[in-house]
A and B are shown apart, each in its own frame.
Chain A
Amino acid sequence: MSLISDKVLKEVTFYLGPAAERFLERQTKYHMDGLAFKDIERKHLKDLAYWLKVSGGLIIDKGKAEEMARKVENLH
């Protein structure tokens, strides 16, 4: 797992709990051309944040999903 995917996982786990990794793998696989979550780089964060906002909003409160997406997008 790359350093950035590690940071993303940590951030998303705060909102989605232990299933966060499964959720992130699903998002990158189905929405980001089959990309494996462990291989994401900084350039993918904007895209990933968008899908976190959309798909996350179906699982948790929309406001929380937007907050989660914003935090992921701002990761360095």
Chain B
Amino acid sequence: MVKWYNSIMTKLTVSFLILIVVISGMSFFYTYGETKTALKDTTQDELTSLASVIATQIDGDLLSTLKEGDENSPEFIKLRDQLYKIQESSDEILYVYTMRKIGDKVAYVVDAEYGIFDDDTSGINEIYETPSKEMFIGFDKPVSEKEFTYDEWGVVISGYAPVLNSKGETVGIVGIDMDSQKVIDRQNFIGNIIYIIILISVLIAGGFIAMFARSMIRDIHTLNATANKISMGDTGVNIDIKRNDEIGLLAESFGRMVASLKIMMMDPEDEDKQ
């Protein structure tokens, strides 16, 4: 009796499973990588579009009049409430704010959360210490960050769009931040779906392989048992294997050999009886 780990069935099943797992794994990493990139691109496009739309809703003339100390003015509160309403309208948006250039630096103008939460929100003309290249580009055209940015408010991906006054001049930018976790959650969701699909496929394929191997090995066992009996002089055996594959052919040849042996080994007295 062949030990299970030496059995052709085990070898066949394991080999095919390894093959399937390797191919599926490679497909998974490729698909997941592509999907992550596509999701990030989509998120960037979304942020750019959203920033553009918000920018058109902001009164540029009003924004340009705000200066340090105006945080309690009706104009500031009007803009802040407008931004806060936008920020609260979507779970995807973490922060909405406006900024302007002061020399070669970038400073906050209106932060949607100013005065609403006790957090350390920025007041008018408070300099943003780590402006990115995209933030400066945002004064010219809608743009989004290529990568996540890390600052004191967390890990976010941001989009910017210029805010224009009535003369069509850029007076600032509107920035929106999306929590990195939202993007990661989206990526993980897709990753999990792909993972589950591959897992189910591997299980189904494994089941089919095991069934196929089992049926093949069962017939090989039958042939082996028959050969064993014949080798011990027992010719009273019949081979009942009906297959259209190579094992079927082997069984046919084997059956022919057994029939011939039976005829050759037949007692002459039996011959007379027939």
A interface, CB within 8 angstroms of B: 14-20, 22-23, 26-27, 30-31, 55, 59-61, 64
B271 lies within 8 A of chain A by Cβ? yes
A17-B257, A19-B262, A26-B271 provided; 6 other pairs, C-beta below 8 A?
A: A15-B256, A17-B260, A19-B264, A20-B263, A59-B259, A61-B255
Q: A27 to B255, alpha carbons, bound, how many Å?
A: 20
Q: Tell me the interface secondary structure of chain B in the complex.
A: helix
- Minimal beta-carbon separation of A28 from chain B (angstroms): 11
Q: Which 9 A-B pairs have the closest CB atoms?
A: A17-B260, A19-B263, A19-B260, A17-B256, A16-B259, A23-B263, A59-B259, A60-B259, A59-B262
Closest to B264 in A: A19
* Bound Cα distance from A37 to B123, whole angstroms: 115
When A61-B238, A61-B239 are in contact, do A22 and B263 touch as well, CB less than 8 Å? Answer: yes
What are 23 residue pairs bridging A and B, where the CB atoms are less than 8 Å apart in the complex? A14-B256, A15-B255, A16-B256, A16-B263, A17-B256, A17-B259, A19-B259, A19-B260, A19-B261, A19-B262, A19-B263, A20-B260, A20-B263, A23-B263, A26-B271, A30-B271, A30-B272, A55-B274, A59-B262, A59-B263, A60-B255, A60-B259, A61-B238
Is there an interface contact between A22 and B264, defined as CB atoms closer than 8 Å?
yes
What count of chain B residues pass the 8 Å CB interface test? 16
Inter-chain contact B259/A26, CB cutoff 8 Å: no
**Could you tell me which residues of chain B, from 220 to 274, have a CB within 8 Å of some CB in chain A?**
238-240, 255-264, 271-272, 274
Inside 8 A of B258's CB, which chain A residues have their CB? 60
Q: How far, in Å, is A1 (CB) from chain B's closest CB? A: 19
Contact partners of B238 in chain A: CB under 8 A: 60-61
In the complex, which of the residues A14, A15, A20, A23 has the most CB atoms of chain B within 10 Å of its own CB atom?
A23
Task: Return the CB mask of B60-89 against A: 1 if under 8 Å, else 0.
Answer: 000000000000000000000000000000
Q: Which residues of B contact A14 (CB under 8 A)?
A: 256
Q: In the assembled complex, which residues on chain A have CB atoms less than 8 Å from the CB atom of B240?
A: 61
A contact patch SS? helix
Once the chains are docked, how many angstroms separate the CA of A30 from the CA of B262? 18
Asked if A26 and B256 sit within 8 Å, CB to CB, the answer is no
Residues of B within 8 A of A61 (CB): 238-240, 255
Tell me the complex Cα distance, A31–B261, Å.
22
Residues of B within 8 A of A17 (CB): 256-257, 259-260
Q: How far is the CA of A37 from the CA of B26 in the complex (A)?
A: 66
Give the distance in Å from the alpha carbon of A14 to the alpha carbon of B260 in the complex.
11
Residues of A within 8 A of B260 (CB): 16-20
How many angstroms between the C-alpha atoms of A31 and B271 in the bound complex? 12
**A residues near B262, Cβ cutoff 8 Å:** 19, 59
B179 CB, nearest partner CB in chain A, Å: 72
B253 to A, closest residue via Cβ: A17
Which listed residue (B259, B261, B272, B274) contacts A15, Cβ 8 A? B259
Q: Hey, which chain B residues are within 8 Å of A64, CB to CB?
A: 255
With a cutoff of 8 Å between Cβ atoms, the chain A residues found around residue B264 in the complex are: 19, 22
CB distance from B239 to the nearest CB of A (A): 7
- A30/B256 contact (C-beta < 8 A), A16-B263, A22-B264, A60-B238 known: no
